Amino acid sequence: QPTSSRCLALLARRAMEGVYDFEYAGGHFDVHLRSGGRFYCAGYQAARSTWKLEGNSLAIDWGKFGKYALEFDLKAKTASGSAVGNASSWRKMAFKRPFNTAELALLDSKWMFIHAGGEFEVEFRADCYNHFMCPSYPAHSHWRFEDESATPEVYINWGKYGEYLVKLSEDGATFEGSAKGNPSSWRKGRRLGMSSTAPVHEHSH
């Protein structure tokens, strides 16, 4: 029974993962409920942001942006609640869509990054800051999706090594692109597998 309950809870959490519309009195924006209880928001990034489902209660710890408690409707995939300890500071969430195949392939993945001068390994971490990792050429780097298509474009800010735009294949196995603003400086990628999900480092951005 306990094992069965844990399996059901895991399935419920996995079914919740995806992109949500997050609403409050000041407006609304997209947030991600990612695997491993990781919470991500492109516009409001915070270290150690997490989400957790217990029964129908969704707890969000958004670091410097506060903690929230919402009642989650598993069938409708909607939630309503407030900031913890402040019922008047309401919040709502509504499911927009699951992550598509290409997006799932990029989250927490390891790639061979190919250019005219050679190739080396890189990683796209799905942490709260979307860190981009390269042991051969380390820099404080990040990535983001530029659109929600089946073949999304991905922006990479590689710090001192420049900016890049690459387009994922629909199956998420390869990408092609170039240095930003310089199509002749091409780049290609081949997915190697999953990356580590261990924290990169804890800091504020």
> Is it the case that residue 10 has pLDDT exceeding 70?
no
First-residue to last-residue Cα distance in the chain: 44
**The pTM is what?**
0.90
Cα–Cα distance measured from residue 40 to residue 42, given in angstroms and rounded to the nearest whole number? 7
- Per-residue pLDDT tens for 61-111? 999 999 999 999 999 999 999 999 999 999 999 999 999 999 999 999 999
What 3-state DSSP class applies to 84?
coil
Cross-strand pairs, 61: 50, 67
**Residues in the chain, total:** 205
**Best CA proximity match to 81, nearest among 73, 71, 95:** 71
